[in-house]
């Protein structure tokens, strides 16, 4: 059983992004609401032994399309996913925050600060997306 407040938060998030709540979607979202660490498909699979890989994968893709999760490339080779800010909408992500990769524990987290896009780009270049990754040691490892 999910705790009542967690359950409420899950339903609220799904409703906000117009995603129909299914037991699998609620389970996957719970994993992300529990902490801010970005998760890969493999990590989610290990955390939810009774769920099947394809279903988890499809859920991640749906969440990414609907603006609930964003994909992060942290250099580990596996795509990681993390919760989107409220501003994200279906097909229109607004991730203007850097990601912090801890070199000790290997975790990647979203930082709650804004990344400033470059003030100008050379002529003809158009900015569509920006991914900033910081590397260092997280509070738990420091
Ligand atoms: Zn997003
Ligand atoms: Zn760490
Ligand atoms: Zn992020």
pLDDT(3) > 70: no
* pTM of the full structure: 0.87
Confidence of residue 125 (pLDDT cuts 50, 70, 90): very high
Nearest ligand atom owner, CA of 69: 1
Show the tokens assigned to 53: 């890989």
Interval between CA 20 and ligand 1 midpoint (Å): 18
Average predicted confidence (pLDDT) for the chain: 91
Tell me the ligand closest to 110's alpha carbon.
3
Cα–ligand 3 centroid distance for 69 (angstroms): 8
Average pLDDT of 93-103?
Answer: 91
Number of the ligand closest to the Cα of 70: 1
User: Quick count: other Cβ atoms within 10 Å of Cβ 59?
Assistant: 22
Give the SS3 label for residue 52.
coil
pLDDT in tens, 20-32: 999 999 999 999 9
Looking at the domain that runs over 4-136, which CATH code has it been given?
1.10.10.10
Packing angle, helices 4-16 and 23-34, rounded to 10? 110
How many whole angstroms from 35 Cα to the centroid of ligand 3? 13
Backbone angles phi, psi at 34, to 5 degrees: -65, -40
Q: For residue range 36-73, what is the model confidence (pLDDT) as tens digits?
A: 899 999 999 999 999 999 999 999 999 999 999 999 98
Going from the Cα of 31 to the center of ligand 2, the distance in angstroms, rounded, reads 19
CA 120 to centroid of ligand 2, rounded, Å: 34
Distance CA 90, CA 93 (A): 7
Question: Would you kindly state where each structural domain of the chain is located, as residue ranges?
Answer: 4-136
């Amino acid at each position: 059983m999910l705790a009542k407040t967690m359950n409420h938060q899950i339903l609220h998030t799904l409703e906000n992004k117009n995603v129909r709540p299914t037991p699998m979607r609620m389970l996957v979202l719970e994993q992300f609401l529990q902490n801010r660490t970005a998760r890969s498909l493999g990590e989610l699979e290990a955390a939810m032994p009774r769920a099947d890989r394809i279903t988890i994968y499809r859920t991640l893709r749906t969440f990414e399309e609907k603006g609930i999760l964003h994909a992060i490339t942290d250099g580990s080779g596996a795509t990681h996913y993390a919760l989107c800010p409220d501003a994200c909408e279906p097909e229109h992500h607004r991730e203007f925050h850097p990601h912090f990769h801890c070199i000790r524990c290997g975790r990647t987290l979203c930082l709650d600060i804004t990344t400033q896009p470059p003030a100008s780009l050379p002529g003809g270049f158009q900015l569509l997306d920006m991914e900033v990754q910081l590397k260092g040691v997280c509070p738990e490892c420091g």
